[in-house]
Structure 1
């Protein structure tokens, strides 16, 4: 089986998901009062990251935790609906060249996967019409009665964690890695890109572009 693995932020979606999430909360007709509390909690974390005392991976994971906690009054169904509100604005930012590649892979019978650090429920909400065979994202922990489990920590899917989840998901299959594809835009996508024989750097940041040029990878 061949696979095609797509990143979301900066790849399928040309912008940054977390920026949109922040703006959505800030201007939301119902939930905007929660933004002040969220901002007060995330600001010291962001400052720590900018002055290089907080690693980027820690900053991202804690940011996802703080954002989810800001919406702790919402049930799972309400949170799914909240993410669905962003569908149209996010789809307007989709990279059409990447979607063409996605559709071609589907036509060719390739198993297409979306693997991202974004919330899984958000990914499902905004890509439901694209026909991914599988979506792997960051899960928000809920209790059995559908409330946010504030005692559980979010496990942010990033870097090598993406590879772990991919391998777990495909464990029952024999994968033709040499003829498989991966799409990513940032240096942090390197572990996934190195899994396959046909990596594609999508509008890559400088560090990834350098690697892609050195290794003669395709650049979209």
Structure 2
């Protein structure tokens, strides 16, 4: 079985999910007051990252956790509706070239996976019209049908992406040499290196350097 693995931010989606999520909360007609709590929580790790004394991975993880904390009273239904609002704003910014590639992989009977650090319900909402077999994202926990913002999340990024991919494909006979992976950032390297056909999509400088050196395809 061949697989085709797609990153989301900067790849299938041409922009950054977290920036859109911040804007949505800040300007929301009902929930904008929650933005102040979120902003206060993310500033220390953000400043630490800018000063190069706090790792980017930890900064991203704390930011995602802080966003959920700002939505602490949401029920599962309310949260899915909220993410649906964000998804509606994203459809116009999907990368048409990558969407076309995804559909071609489906036509070729490749097993299509989406792997991202974005929240899983948001990924499902924004890609519901696309024929994706497996979606791996950052899961949201609930307690008594209400968002559980206190339990630490498992933010899907870096090497954890490859671990989750292998877990999802356990027991399958994968033709890695003829499989594809698409990503835009240097942090996507562990996934891109899994396959015989890595594709750098609008790559940031560090990934572009690697892709050019290794003669990878660049979109």
TM bracket, shorter-chain basis: over 0.9
Q: Which residue of 1 aligns with 2:52?
A: 52
Spell out structure 1 runs of 4+ moving beyond 2 A: none
CA-based RMSD: 0.7
Q: Which residue of 2 aligns with 1:101?
A: 101
Q: 1:150, CA displacement in angstroms?
A: 3.0
How many residues in Structure 1 have an aligned counterpart in Structure 2? 219
Q: Which residue of 2 aligns with 1:161?
A: 160
Q: Which residue of 2 aligns with 1:194?
A: 193
Q: Give the TM-score normalised by structure 2.
A: 0.98
Is 1:63–2:73 an aligned residue pair? no
Paired with 1:24 and 1:90, the residues of 2 have a C-alpha distance of: 11
| Per-residue CA distance 1:106-133 (angstroms, 9 max, x = gap) | 0010000000000001100111001110
Q: 1:77, CA displacement in angstroms?
A: 1.3
Q: Give the TM-score normalised by structure 1.
A: 0.98
| Per-residue CA distance 1:159-215 (angstroms, 9 max, x = gap) | 000000000000021100000000000000000000000000001011101111111
Q: 1:134, CA displacement in angstroms?
A: 0.6
Paired with 2:150 and 2:71, the residues of 1 have a C-alpha distance of: 14
Paired with 1:163 and 1:45, the residues of 2 have a C-alpha distance of: 26
Q: Which residue of 2 aligns with 1:20?
A: 20
| Per-residue CA distance 1:75-122 (angstroms, 9 max, x = gap) | 111101100001232111110000010000000100000000000011
Q: 1:151, CA displacement in angstroms?
A: 3.1
Paired with 1:87 and 1:118, the residues of 2 have a C-alpha distance of: 12
Give the secondary structure class of the aligned counterpart of 2:199.
Answer: strand
